[in-house]
């Protein structure tokens, strides 16, 4: 018997999407003969509030041993996020926590904004060390009830808890929010940032679903979950940025309304399997006419998933990526495709360029210009119309 929905308590879940057995993300092969480890990836959604969660009993990634201190870029909207935060909780000597502080890049920005007492909370030992090396105080642990109590004892209540791109990764999002609430002063502020569910569900960016995302939130069910943790939403924003669609909530201790999820979003969840299958079939049909060889851009999990879920991995001859940990290896999509650097990729003169560098438009332009008119450029999402529904505006 599945556990009830953590946001609304509804007992039954409905299937959202079954992506089958796929190579584990982040796995690069040393040779094309190697067989990658696989994981089962499937999602369900709550038919009442639309909360999306991974099916089965997915294990939370063991971040303690993970080393990816350079993995997260700071998007341009982070400055708007800090500006709006400062309007609600002005810089000064109040304690500022960054939960999932990674390498401390965001704490650098908080320092520059004038927040003088800062503390990173980061479960990855390697990231915590990188954060400390940048001069920030760090607690090298996940944020849970015990960590929260320890922080309060040692540092006092927090004026702000930032929790950016962390809640979707944890097995107990309510526990994380309760721990964040336990850190806050009575007039403290939680700043919560997470991917917006409309991006995969309405925008068909299904590649954003991956094994490390255990939950995907719509603003309505996130507000309900915050309420369950004793936090009331005071402001919310959706940020459309290159290749992403994120949402930010500002919340304070207190009780608030529990908004209903728009019926159109629930309908989009029900329709997603069929819509994505038709989208992928259309791409495969077009791919049959693409001149070879075909190069795709990027070897991160989003591109691997895009190639796997659409089936386009079968027609790609090279994948461009300049990351030295990926270049020279093979990415299983699911057949092994060699990963080569940008310069080599341009030199090999692919006849079709698959524009899958979703978050990197400048890189896409650079490669397209390098290839000139010799290659056909394909933007797979050109012409995908969508309504973010619930985000409040069309991106």
Which one of 6-14, 136-144, 323-331, 364-372 is the stretch in contact with Zn ion (CB under 5 A)?
A: 6-14
In Å, what is the CA distance from 321 to each residue of 153, 249, 269, 273, 304? Answer: 46, 34, 33, 30, 12
219: nearest Cα among 248, 176, 251, 252? 248
Distances (CA, A) of 235 to 219, 393, 395: 11, 15, 19
Q: HSE of 12 in the Cβ direction (CA atoms, 13 Å)? A: 3
- Candidate list 22, 51, 312, 331; residue touching Zn ion; CB under 5 A: 51
| Secondary structure (3-state) at 226 | helix
Question: Taking a C-beta distance cutoff of 8 angstroms, is the pair 96, 114 a contact?
Answer: no
Please tell me whether residue 7 binds Zn ion under the rule CB under 5 A: yes
Minimum Å distance from CB 48 to Zn ion? 5
Residue 22 touching Zn ion (CB under 5 A): no
Q: Is 4 in the site for Zn ion (CB under 5 A)?
A: no
Closer to Zn ion at the Cβ: 125 or 258? 258
The answer to the question of residue 81 lying near Zn ion (CB under 5 A) is no
> Does the footprint of Zn ion cover residue 96 (CB under 5 A)?
no
- Comparison of 196 and 252: residue with beta carbon closer to Zn ion: 196
At its nearest, how many Å lie between Zn ion and the CB of residue 228? 11
Distance, in Å, from the CA atom of 225 to the CA atom of 213, rounded to the nearest integer, reads 17
Rounded Cα distance, 107 and 135, in Å = 10
Q: What distance in Å separates the CA atoms of residue 228 and residue 241, rounded to the nearest whole number? A: 30
Distant-in-sequence, close-in-space partners of 73: CB < 8 Å, separation ≥ 6 = 359
Q: How far apart are the first and last CA of the chain?
A: 39
For residue 253, the minimal CB distance to Zn ion (Å) is 23
**Stretch of 2-10, 65-73, 189-197, 276-284 lying at the interface with Zn ion (CB under 5 A):** 2-10
Tell the smallest beta-carbon distance from residue 199 to Zn ion (Å): 19
Among 29, 49, 161, 231, binds Zn ion (CB under 5 A): 49
Closest to Zn ion by CB, 5 or 333: 5
CB of 250 to Zn ion, least distance (A): 23
C-beta of 7 vs 229, nearer to Zn ion? 7
Alpha carbons 331 and 343: distance in angstroms, whole number: 19
Q: How many residues bind Zn ion (CB under 5 A)?
A: 8
**Of 57, 382, 348, which Cα lies nearest the Cα of 340?**
348
Q: Are 295 and 320 in contact (CB under 8 A)?
A: yes
Q: How far is the CB of 203 from Zn ion (least distance, A)?
A: 22
Report if residue 10 touches Zn ion, rule: CB under 5 A: yes
Q: How far apart are CA 221 and CA 294, in angstroms?
A: 41
Q: With CB under 5 A as the contact rule, which of the stretches 4-12, 199-207, 253-261, 305-313 interacts with Zn ion? A: 4-12
Cα–Cα distances (Å) from 102 to 106, 128, 195, 204, 332, in that order, read 8, 7, 17, 29, 28
Residue closer to Zn ion (CB basis): 10 or 292 = 10
Q: How far is the CB of 229 from Zn ion (least distance, A)?
A: 15
Query: Rule CB under 5 A: is residue 46 a binding residue for Zn ion?
Result: yes
Return the residues of window 104-163 that contact Zn ion according to CB under 5 A: none
Single out the residue of 195, 302, 197, 191 nearest to residue 246, CA to CA: 195
Closest approach of Cβ 207 to Zn ion, in Å?
Answer: 25
CB of 5 to Zn ion, least distance (A): 3
* Site membership for Zn ion, residue 2 (CB under 5 A): no
Binding site for Zn ion (CB under 5 A): 5, 7-8, 10, 46, 48-49, 51
């Amino acid at each position: 018997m599945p556990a009830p929905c953590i946001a609304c308590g509804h007992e039954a879940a409905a299937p959202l999407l079954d992506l089958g057995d796929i190579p584990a993300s982040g796995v690069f092969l040393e040779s094309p003969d190697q067989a990658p480890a696989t994981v089962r990836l499937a999602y369900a959604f709550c038919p009442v509030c639309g909360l999306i969660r991974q099916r089965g009993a997915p294990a939370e990634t063991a971040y303690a041993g993970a080393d990816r201190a350079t993995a997260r870029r700071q998007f341009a909207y982070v400055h708007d996020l800090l500006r709006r935060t400062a309007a609600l909780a002005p810089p000064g000597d109040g304690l500022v926590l960054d939960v999932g502080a990674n390498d401390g890049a965001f704490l650098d920005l908080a320092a520059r904004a004038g927040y003088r007492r800062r503390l990173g909370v980061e479960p990855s030992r390697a990231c915590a060390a990188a954060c400390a090396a940048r001069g920030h105080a760090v607690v090298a642990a996940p944020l849970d009830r015990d960590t929260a109590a320890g922080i309060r004892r040692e540092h006092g209540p927090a004026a702000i808890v930032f929790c950016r791109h962390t809640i979707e990764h944890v097995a107990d999002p309510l526990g994380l929010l309760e721990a964040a609430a336990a850190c806050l002063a009575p007039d403290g502020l939680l700043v919560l940032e997470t991917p917006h569910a409309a991006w995969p569900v309405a925008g068909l960016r299904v590649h954003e679903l991956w094994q490390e995302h255990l939950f995907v939130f719509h603003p309505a069910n996130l507000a309900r979950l915050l309420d369950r943790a004793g936090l009331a939403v005071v402001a919310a924003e959706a940020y459309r940025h290159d290749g992403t669609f994120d949402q930010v909530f500002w919340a304070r201790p207190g009780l608030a309304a529990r908004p209903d999820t728009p019926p159109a979003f629930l309908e989009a969840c029900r329709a997603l399997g069929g819509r994505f299958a038709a989208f992928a079939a259309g791409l495969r049909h077009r791919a049959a006419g693409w001149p070879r060889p075909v190069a795709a851009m990027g070897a991160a999990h989003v591109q691997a998933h895009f190639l796997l879920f659409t089936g386009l991995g079968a027609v790609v001859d090279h994948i461009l990526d300049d990351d030295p940990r990926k270049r020279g290896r093979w990415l299983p999509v699911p057949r092994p495709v060699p990963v080569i650097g940008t310069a080599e990729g341009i030199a090999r003169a692919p006849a079709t360029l698959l524009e899958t560098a979703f978050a990197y438009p400048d890189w896409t332009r650079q490669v397209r210009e390098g290839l000139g008119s010799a290659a056909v450029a394909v933007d797979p999402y050109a012409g995908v119309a969508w309504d973010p529904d619930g985000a409040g505006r069309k991106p």
